[in-house]
């Protein structure tokens, strides 16, 4: 089954994302900020990255930019969790290498649908 | 798949309240001069997380309210807006509103709509927005019988992890039938191909499936800027299908969300506690030790006959068991311990608000925030602390003009500190104000009839008068201090926690309030004493010494009162059997022992028949199991199954003083 790295500084969001995906049979690893996520992504190969944008230590966009530079993450889908109001964040994220985004607020079904689409 | 989001609510509330605290302290830090981008970012992130979470978990009112705060903070962190006092005040106000909203939702009470609306208007005013309800645009969606999609990706579309195959597959899933034509015209010669680039384009005919144009745009939304996209309706569009279906769906969803919001309100009771993983590991470690000891001891159960050697080993084992049990107990207690910063963190805000109210300049210094104490004690110490800090601010620190005149710096300093001392935790509130006015207190006390007119007493006792019920020195009863509920309530609350409060003051230099609290309410180091048939327990912490009575040191004064001369002090003797009405073994002081105890700076010598030993006792509340009894703080069950009552020393002293009326005070006055 596909492995997913879920990155969010908010514990409740992280729990929700992780619980939903695990329930659908995915293997989920959690990280609380971009730095932690980067370390985890380098030590283990993931099939999909889902990351929040606003986080302490290292934000989601910097994380994506860094990870996209890694050879084994060149084509791995990376999704950002973002709010509708942040239109320029989407563009910034795309420029950094994000595959797409999931707009907050979202419910578990929307999350699963998007993940299914990306992972095929 | 449906997932109950309610299971995440507790975590959401917990982290949201933490976020609010972070925002608050961040905002308080903002006004002190230069613009700290990292700080603004931190505040922004907290607001952003609350907004995201509340939207996701169905608290739309919170999400909506936070939205404007977030916009404002976003402008601040992008440097589009200056940090001004009014902006900070408004944001602080909205933190309060948000906290109330979250509390209301969690507890299932009603949200204070007025304050929400008021603050929303204030923020919108700063943002320069009209207070309009953002109407949800109900875009009319066109659906057609079929569509022709021209999709020409740019060469670098795959560099973001997007995949043209996935996009086409997704389109395919929308329609009943899809016809895909690939165009390889721009494919270069094999030798020139960059394997990571995309050279093809596609034409996809989608037939059937009630697809709207928006549905198709949705599929390509992530790659909008990475491709050329043309969407045409199929020519032979026959039956036009309106947007009713979608509207229906939406209508169904809306009430559902409201339901979840209401349902969440029930789960407020379950309060949780965050425990550091190292504490849990420690527990597991101790349990492991305990199991080893247990297995060692159980071997003796199989033993046929006991030799002196096995008894020796049994004793060793029991000693080990005792030490492990004690350590385990301490570890378990530590789980309930939380840093006092939870109680301290509200003070920067309080001092900030109050110094504005009183037009005083105050610097608050907080130390020892990491000091841990029991969660219950922590929750209950908050209000007394607030009162004491308010008091220092209102009565202690002088106005800037007065301070300058007294040769002090314009800015007053209030120091809030916590530290461990012995088995106690000590909290101090220290100000560098004018100090307590001895004459004023004394005249006030005389006016109120708390002391007699010709009373003379040492300074400490004068200062202690402020803790008496019905005492208030404020010239004008202000909104903040002196609302009738005064220092006596503070003292009573602290006593209920098994603690004590005292004040020291130097005229012109300031005052220090010292609160001593037990580390935990659940367990007490007790000295067992025997009176007649009964066993009572004295808290070891309040015992100064125990002694045999020498008759020449006993003085009887003013009729029934007895005092004992201990070195240079005269200490009132309290015969416990008299107060509790029980039959002692002997009423002759020389046959028993005196235990000298101290509480809140006062000493008494308790007469008991015998000292029985020391042990840790688990405190059972009398109040919940029976009723509150003056002079007793609780009860416990001893190893042999009998119940022993635990003496509340401060309460006992009060009880004794009531019995003796004012005679004791005058004796102490004379002795000093």
pLDDT tens-digit series, residues B101-159: 888 888 888 888 888 888 888 888 888 765 444 444 444 455 567 788 888 888 888 88
> Which pTM value belongs to this model?
0.55
B330: closest CA of chain A, how far (Å): 30
Helix (H) or strand (E) run with residue B431 in it: strand B424-431
Q: With contacts defined as CB-CB under 8 Å, which chain B residues touch A100? A: 162, 221-223
CATH number among 3.50.50.60, 1.20.120.160, 3.40.50.2300, 3.90.1150.10, domain B5-127: 1.20.120.160
A20 touches chain B (CB under 8 A): yes
Contact list in B for residue A85 (CB cut-off 8 A) is: 67, 70-71
* Partner A contacted by B657 (CB < 8 A): no
Long-range CB contacts for residues B664-672, cutoff 8 Å, separation at least 24: B664/B561, B664/B572, B665/B451, B665/B455, B665/B457, B665/B461, B666/B455, B667/B557, B667/B558, B667/B561, B667/B563, B667/B570, B667/B572, B668/B461, B668/B570, B668/B572, B669/B455, B669/B456, B669/B457, B669/B458, B669/B461, B671/B569, B671/B570, B672/B458
Residue in chain A nearest B42 by alpha carbon: A56
User: Is A99–B49 a contact, with Cβ atoms under 8 angstroms apart?
Assistant: no
Q: Does B4 touch chain A (CB under 8 A)?
A: no
| Average pLDDT of the residues in B3-31 | 84
Positions of B marked catalytic: 48, 70, 391
Could B159 and A83 be called an inter-chain contact, meaning their C-beta atoms sit closer than 8 Å? no
Say how many CA atoms lie within 13 Å of B504 toward its Cβ: 7
CATH of B146-233, one of 3.30.70, 3.30.420, 2.30.30, 3.30.750: 3.30.70
Q: Return the residue of A nearest to B162 by Cα.
A: A99
At B615-632, the pLDDT tens digits run: 888 888 787 778 878 888
CB contact A74 to B (< 8 Å): yes
Higher pLDDT, B256 or A40: A40
Q: Which chain B residues touch A118 with a CB distance below 8 Å? A: 166
Q: From the CA of A115, how many Å to the nearest CA of chain B?
A: 12
Is pLDDT at B51 greater than 50 in this prediction?
Answer: yes
A112 at the B interface (CB within 8 A)? yes
Say yes or no: B169 contacts chain A, CB-CB below 8 A: yes
CATH dotted code for B339-518: 3.30.565.10
The residue ranges of every structural domain in chain B are 5-127, 146-233, 277-335, 339-518, 523-671
CA–CA min distance A112, chain B (Å):
9
* pLDDT surpassing 90 at residue B595: yes
Domain with residue A47: its CATH number is 3.40.50.2300
Band the pLDDT of B480: cuts 50, 70, 90: very low
* ipTM associated with this complex: 0.82
SS3 B307: coil
Q: What range does the domain containing A77 cover?
A: 3-119
When CB atoms are compared, the residue of A75, A81, A108 closest to B3 is: A108
Pair of tokens at residue B582: 């029980």
Task: Give residue-wise pLDDT tens across range B388-434.
Answer: 888 888 888 888 888 899 888 888 999 999 988 766 789 999 999 88
Query: Which residue among A11, A24, A118 sits closest to B15, beta carbon to beta carbon?
Result: A11
Residues of A within 8 A of B71 (CB-CB) are 85
pLDDT band of B9, cuts 50, 70, 90: confident
Pick the CATH number of B277-335 from 3.30.1380, 3.30.460, 1.10.287, 2.160.20: 1.10.287
**B339-518 and B277-335 share a CATH fold:** no
Instruction: Say if the Cβ atoms of B48 and A100 lie within 8 Å.
Output: no
B232-276 residue pLDDT tens: 877 654 443 334 444 444 444 444 443 433 333 333 334 677 777
CATH no. for B523-671: 2.40.50.180
What is the count of structural domains for chain A?
1
CA B199, B205, B209, B214 torsion-angle sign:
positive
Q: Which of A52, A54, A109 shows the shortest C-beta gap to B1?
A: A109
Q: Which of B56, B71, B223 sits opposite A105 (nearest CB)?
A: B56
For residue B2, the model assigns a pLDDT of 64
pLDDT band at B666 (very low <50, low <70, confident <90, very high): very low
Percentage of chain B modeled with pLDDT above 90: 7
Say whether residue A2 is in contact with chain B using an 8 A CB cutoff. Answer: no
pLDDT in tens, B165-182: 888 888 888 877 888 888
Q: Which residues in chain A touch residue B158, judged by CB atoms under 8 angstroms apart?
A: 75
């Amino acid at each position: 089954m596909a492995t997913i790295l879920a990155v969010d500084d908010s514990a409740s969001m992280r729990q929700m994302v992780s619980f939903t995906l695990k329930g659908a049979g995915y293997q989920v690893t959690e990280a609380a900020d971009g730095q932690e996520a980067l370390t985890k992504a380098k030590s283990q190969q993931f099939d999909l990255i889902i990351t929040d944008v606003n986080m302490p230590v290292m934000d989601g966009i910097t994380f994506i930019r860094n990870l996209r530079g890694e050879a084994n993450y060149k084509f791995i889908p990376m999704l950002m969790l973002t709010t509708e109001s942040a239109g320029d964040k989407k563009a910034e994220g795309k420029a950094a290498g994000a595959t797409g985004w999931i707009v907050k607020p979202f419910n578990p079904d929307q999350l699963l649908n998007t993940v299914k689409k990306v992972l095929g | 798949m449906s997932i109950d989001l309610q299971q995440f609510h507790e975590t959401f509330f917990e982290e949201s309240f933490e976020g609010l605290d972070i925002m608050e302290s961040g905002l308080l830090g903002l006004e002190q001069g230069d613009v700290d981008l990292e700080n603004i970012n931190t505040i922004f992130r907290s607001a952003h997380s609350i907004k995201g979470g509340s939207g996701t978990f169905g608290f739309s009112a919170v999400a909506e309210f936070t939205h404007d705060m977030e916009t404002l903070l976003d402008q601040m962190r992008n440097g589009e807006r200056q940090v001004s006092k009014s902006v900070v005040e408004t944001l602080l106000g909205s933190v309060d509103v948000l906290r109330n909203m979250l509390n209301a939702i969690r507890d299932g009470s009603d949200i204070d709509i007025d304050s929400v609306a008021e603050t929303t208007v204030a923020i919108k005013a700063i943002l320069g927005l009209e207070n309009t309800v953002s109407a949800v645009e109900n875009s009319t969606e066109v659906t057609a019988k079929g569509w022709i999609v021209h999709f020409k990706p740019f060469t670098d579309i795959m560099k973001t992890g997007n995949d043209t195959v996935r996009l086409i597959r997704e389109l395919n899933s929308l329609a009943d039938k899809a016809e895909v034509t690939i165009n390889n015209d721009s494919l270069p010669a094999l030798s020139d191909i960059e394997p990571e680039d995309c050279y093809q384009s596609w034409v996809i005919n989608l037939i059937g499936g009630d697809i709207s144009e928006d549905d198709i745009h949705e599929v390509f939304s992530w790659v909008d800027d990475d491709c050329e996209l043309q969407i045409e309706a199929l020519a032979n569009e026959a039956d036009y299908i309106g947007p009713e279906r979608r509207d229906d769906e939406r209508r169904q969803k809306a009430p559902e969300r409201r339901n979840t919001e209401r349902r969440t309100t029930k789960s407020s009771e379950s309060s949780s506690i965050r425990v550091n993983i190292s504490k849990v590991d420690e527990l597991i470690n101790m349990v492991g030790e305990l199991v080893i000891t247990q297995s060692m001891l159980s071997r003796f159960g199989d033993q046929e006959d006991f030799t002196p050697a096995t008894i020796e080993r049994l004793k060793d084992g029991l000693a080990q068991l005792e030490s492990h049990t004690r350590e385990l107990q301490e570890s378990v207690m530590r789980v309930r311990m939380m840093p006092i910063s939870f109680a301290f963190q509200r003070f920067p805000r309080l001092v900030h608000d109050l110094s504005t109210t009183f037009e005083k300049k105050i610097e608050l210094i907080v130390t020892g925030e990491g000091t841990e104490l029991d969660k219950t004690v922590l929750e209950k110490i908050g209000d007394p602390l607030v009162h004491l800090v308010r008091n220092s601010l209102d009565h202690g620190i002088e106005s800037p003009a007065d301070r300058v005149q007294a040769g002090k710096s314009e800015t007053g300093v209030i120091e809030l500190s916590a530290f461990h001392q012995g088995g106690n935790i000590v909290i101090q509130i220290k100000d560098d104000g004018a100090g307590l006015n001895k004459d004023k207190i004394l005249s006030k006390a005389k006016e109120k009839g708390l002391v007699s007119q010709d009373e003379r007493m040492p300074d400490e006792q004068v200062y202690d008068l402020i803790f008496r019920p019905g005492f208030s020195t404020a010239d004008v009863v202000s909104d903040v201090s002196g609302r009738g509920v005064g220092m006596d309530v503070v003292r009573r609350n602290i006593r209920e926690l098994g603690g004590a409060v005292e004040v020291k003051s130097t005229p012109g230099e300031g005052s220090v309030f010292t609160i001593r609290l037990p580390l935990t309410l659940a367990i007490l180091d007790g000295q067992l004493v025997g009176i007649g048939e009964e066993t009572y327990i004295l808290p070891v912490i309040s015992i100064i010494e125990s002694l045999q009575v020498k008759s020449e040191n006993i003085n009887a004064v003013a009729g029934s009162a007895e005092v004992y001369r201990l070195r240079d002090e005269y200490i009132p003797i309290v015969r416990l059997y008299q107060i509790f009405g029980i039959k002692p073994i002997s009423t002759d002081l020389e046959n028993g022992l005196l235990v000298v105890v101290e509480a809140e700076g006062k000493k008494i010598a308790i007469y008991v028949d015998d000292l029985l030993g020391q042990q840790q006792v688990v405190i059972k509340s009398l109040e919940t199991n029976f009723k509150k009894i003056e002079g007793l703080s609780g009860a416990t069950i001893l190893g042999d199954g009998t119940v022993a009552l635990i003496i509340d020393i401060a309460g006992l002293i009060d009880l004794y003083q009531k019995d003796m009326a004012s005679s004791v005070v005058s004796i102490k006055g004379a002795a000093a």
